[in-house]
Structure 1
Amino acid sequence: MINALADRVEASEVWREAMHRAPRHRFVPDLVLVHPLDAPPHLVDRASVPEGWLKAVSSPAALVTQLDDGVTDLAMGSGDYTSSCSAPDVVFSFLELLDPYDHYRVLEIGTGTGWTAALLTARLGDGRVVSIEVDEQIAAQAETNLKAAGPHPRLIVGDGANGWPDGAPYDRVHVTCAVRDVPYPWVEQTRPGGIIVLPWSPGIGHGHQVRLHVQRDGTALGRLIGSADYMMLRSQRRTWSWEGDVEEATTRMDPREVVRDSIGADPALAALPPGVRLLEQPSPDNGTYTLWLAHEDGSWATARFIPDADEHIVRQHGPRRLWEEAEEAYFRWQSWGRPGHDRYGITVTPEGQHLWLDDPSRVLA
């Protein structure tokens, strides 16, 4: 069954071979929260259901290994997901985008269980992979897993946002956690011509796969490629407030339209009203739907759809009028011809990052 997973996963032969040398089951704890795409999450304990555990490990499902940064016991089965062994198809999709050549050096951000560090080491050899993990507990378990499995990447405990300059320059940077803002040290520590692959999660809709190419002038740029929902880099997590006095108004627009075409509209919404977080709250019992928008400056807004209503209720708080910003961004996206996500790209400079449409010169602001 283990070998069947290696043969089934969508990957080139070189990565299938690496998976045979670093099989997934060696990096999965006995108790996991299985998160399949087509069924509710459920706990599997190797001690009580060994066949069920093996089936889960050999499946395409993501396996959650930590809740609430380790504060909440995984056996409780509920809490914020803070570490996992990612779905194999997504793992190998990123590794294919990374495309390391023989003898390359790779910096990995987010060791997790150690599985992807092992795959990279199986591909490139010992001493060519540096993997950074911010959580000491997770890092210790990954070290144990790797010692038992055989591959020997260099493991560092620290904030991956800073990279690891002592091992630079790198030919590739492999990121296993989502980021809103690409840390410039990753670009700075990569050779010109090198590649950085990462999950970009601007806070609106689904996350995106991004492949950045490092330029000779110290910048990096690349396009959005596919979808990728990953846990946030811990130093980029945000908290949101939904308190304060509100101003109430109405809108004739159905709030659901903002997210209906999200795979293409999301990047525009992320760029034009910058720094905004969007959440959806459908209510199937009565057909209502609430769209929540928030910014870290304390501004927030809700737009509530009510079936058969001519106008929908908008409530807003703070210095920004987030619903108006989101509505304006949506109609600007419409005016561009409703471009899909693959027409957007990101450029990263020492001063920050910006999103562009079709060409790096067409910056969205």
Structure 2
Amino acid sequence: MKEKKRLIAEFEEQSFTQIIFPHADTDWTDYLEDAQNTFVSIINAIRKYQKCLVVAYDTDAVKKYFSDTDNLEFVHCVTDDTWARDCSALSVKTANKTALLDFSFNGWGNKFDAKKDNLMTQKIAHKYLPCKVEKIDFVLEGGAVESNGAGILLTTAACMLNKNRNPHLNAAQITQKLKEFFDAEHILYLNSGYLAGDDTDSHIDTLARFTDENTIMYVTCKDTNDEHYKVLKRMEEELQIIAKEHNFRLIALPMCDAVYFEGERLPATYANFLFVNGAVLVPVYGVSQDKEALAIFKKTFPDRDVVAIDCSVLIRQHGSLHCVTMNFCVSVQLFKNPNTLVGTEVPIPIK
């Protein structure tokens, strides 16, 4: 009998967070120092709460950014870019163990070269993923799906059903594939919602996120003169229907004031937050809504620390905090003291 599995929700207990450090051959090159400093800030914030795996083009060079290596592990791999959310494996859980699904990554619909990124998980699996890693011939980015951990996935039609991902499959076939990959009962599609400057065809993690099994936090726009007003209003109406059907609670986040770089509006969004054990890291952008957004997070998560992370550099490359990280839930002897690892899943060998 086939084992049932589920896509582990990000708000559940984690083992570690993965991040890919910027290097000169990435798109960060024009402001590499600023980008690297931002990544150091993110890594230092994460490791206060849990382990952090740093994928590095040069491990010795990257280690020099840190005064110590507590809660850090470094693994060498040269990548095209640094969007760990979309080229890393997804953690799924069966009855008594976890496994990792390594989906194909094609640079958000062949917009960018992603050959090295697509190979990353397989290249470093022997080092930090001594459990089952299953390669899946299906294009799927981690930022494109949100799981409530209980059989419901939230995504967007603009991304998931886009012909630049899996052109050989129709909408019904893609939906069925998702149900099979994650044994999901419901695949919920949002048909509206986008952010100016976004390269991903409207990833769900820029728009709406599960904060627990029954709550969705989402971006809303109150400025009728903003280009996002109508489309985000339609998205809100869709979410209200979904909430009524599935007994979900909705929490609205403010839309940021427009942020520009080199004349282009950037996809600044508070929905791109990151869960770690005991905290939620919130991207901020130096705009007037930062204070309001942080207050909403503090009210929503009274039992977690709320940590603001300046992500004004990240959005220059059209992503933010969640986009450059990936959460894992696997019990592996990755770090020097395996007794400090989080989780109780039983690892199984790579086949």
Tell me if TM exceeds 0.5.
no
Q: State the structure with more CA Rg.
A: 1
Structure with larger RCO (C-alpha < 8 A, sep 6+)? 2
Q: Which has the higher strand share?
A: 1
* TM-score (normalised: structure 1): 0.30
